[in-house]
């Protein structure tokens, strides 16, 4: 969990690895940065805690853990706490009480803080226009972005961008570069070996120390590339048809390398893709043949992605709607596996 320490004598909150060393008696602990912000504390300018993605909810009750994961996936971007409570099968009052007790902040405030932190990182790392950052971070308007940044950071987007350091701005030869920070425990070389061994041909590949894959953004194709930047940072270069919802693409990219805790479905772009892979592996125990089946699934039922042949990519991973009624018999799968794949695809809500 990304707990922070707030210093009562200075009014700021810091990460545990901050070079500042306040007296322990002056430090109050909060389970999330959002809770410290709600209590009136400001982010430290030295350790800049907003640059680190919020981790999981640790050993909090399962209800809160599930809610935090849903919030990270955008459950409150266009919805209310009441709708989130409905998804979790509890009353809004109970959900709010549990959040205040264990997270120290409401679910809605946690979601706003997460979007604000992502926007702040984009202000530091990119030259995107403020309007682009607003929609990339999941805000409904520039006005909403301005209001939330004023609440969280007590400054306007222009003022925050003026504070960025010379080394902050990331540069990429095409595409938009985004930092993926982590705690330093990732063995990136080993992760690349595992990803390469089970990559779905034409959808994803590993070459030259970089993981690449196709993605779909509202039905339109794009590509991401992920490589190592330092001992505690990866960098994702995103080639996207539009930037709306970029915060969620970054979340999925982090999931591929399990950067936010062991509970993440690592190695896949989304839970549906992970489910398809597990069902194929269970039905086709031979790893080489299972890889061939996954490649055939992409070739036959995945959308064609033009222009990426030099990168070894040409297909998007099949979408649930495509697999729900697909003639899976051409793959020579066990009937039980084909039935399970269709059931999985039909169980995914249409967007």
Question: 55 pLDDT band (50/70/90 cuts)?
Answer: low
What does the alpha-carbon distance between residue 178 and residue 240 come to, in Å, rounded to a whole number? 13
pLDDT at 130 over 90: yes
173 within domain boundaries: no
Inside any domain, residue 257: no
Read off the pLDDT of residues 298-325 as tens digits, 9 standing for 90 and up.
Answer: 999 999 999 998 889 999 999 999 999 9
Report yes or no on 118 lying in a domain: no
Within a domain: residue 44? Answer: yes
Cα separation, 268 vs 253, in Å, equals: 9
Residue 122 half-sphere exposure toward CB, CA atoms < 13 A: 26
Structure token digits, residue 108: 């809605």
Burial class (CB in 10 A: 0-12, 13-18, 19+), 69: middle
Q: Is residue 153 part of a domain?
A: no
Q: Residue 36 is part of a domain; what is its CATH number?
A: 3.40.10.10
Is residue 86 a contact partner of residue 58, using CB atoms and an 8 Å limit? Answer: no
* Overall domain count for the chain: 1
* 10 within some domain: yes
In a domain, 283, yes or no: no
Name the residue range of residue 38's domain.
Answer: 4-51
Q: Estimate to the nearest angstrom the gap between the alpha carbon of 21 and the chain centroid.
A: 31
**Residues in Cβ contact with 229 at an 8 Å cutoff, skipping those fewer than 6 apart:** 179, 235
67 within 8 A of 99, measured Cβ to Cβ: yes
pLDDT of 226 strictly over 80: yes
Mean pLDDT of 246-259: 93
What are 256-265's pLDDT values in tens digits? 999 986 655 6
Q: Is residue 178 part of a domain?
A: no
260-273 in b/e form (b: 16+ CB < 10 A) is: beeebbbbbbbebb
Instruction: Give me the pLDDT at residue 56, please.
Output: 66
Q: What is the pTM of this model?
A: 0.88
């Amino acid at each position: 969990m990304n707990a922070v320490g707030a210093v009562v004598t200075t009014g700021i909150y810091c990460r545990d690895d901050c070079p500042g060393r306040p007296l322990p008696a002056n430090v109050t602990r909060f389970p999330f940065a959002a809770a410290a912000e709600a209590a009136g504390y400001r982010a430290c300018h030295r350790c800049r805690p907003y640059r680190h993605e919020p981790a999981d909810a640790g050993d909090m009750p399962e209800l809160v853990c599930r809610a935090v994961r849903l919030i990270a996936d955008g459950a409150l971007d266009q919805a209310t706490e009441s709708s989130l409570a409905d998804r979790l099968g509890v009353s809004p009052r109970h959900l709010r009480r549990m959040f205040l007790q264990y997270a120290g902040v409401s679910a809605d405030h946690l979601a706003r803080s997460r979007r604000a932190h992502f926007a702040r990182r984009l202000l530091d790392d990119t030259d995107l226009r403020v309007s682009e950052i607003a929609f990339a971070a999941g805000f409904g308007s520039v006005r909403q972005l301005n209001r939330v940044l004023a609440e969280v950071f007590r400054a306007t987007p222009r003022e925050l961008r003026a504070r960025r350091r010379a080394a902050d701005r990331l540069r990429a030869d095409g595409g938009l570069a985004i930092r993926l920070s982590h705690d330093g425990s990732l063995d990136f070389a080993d992760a690349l070996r595992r990803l390469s061994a089970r990559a779905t041909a034409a959808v994803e590949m590993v070459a030259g120390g970089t993981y690449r894959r196709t993605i779909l953004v509202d039905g339109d194709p794009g590509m991401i590339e992920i490589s190592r930047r330092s001992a505690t940072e990866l960098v994702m270069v995103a080639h996207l048809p539009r930037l709306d919802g970029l915060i969620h693409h970054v979340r999925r990219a982090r999931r591929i390398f399990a950067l936010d805790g062991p509970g993440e479905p690592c190695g896949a772009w989304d839970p549906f893709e992970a489910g398809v892979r597990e069902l194929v592996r269970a039905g086709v125990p031979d790893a080489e043949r299972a890889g061939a089946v996954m490649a055939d699934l992409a070739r036959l039922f995945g959308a064609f992605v033009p222009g990426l042949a030099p990168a070894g990519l040409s297909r998007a991973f099949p979408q649930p709607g495509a697999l729900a009624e697909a003639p899976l018999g051409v793959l020579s799968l066990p009937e039980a596996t084909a039935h399970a794949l269709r059931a999985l695809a039909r169980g995914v809500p249409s967007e």
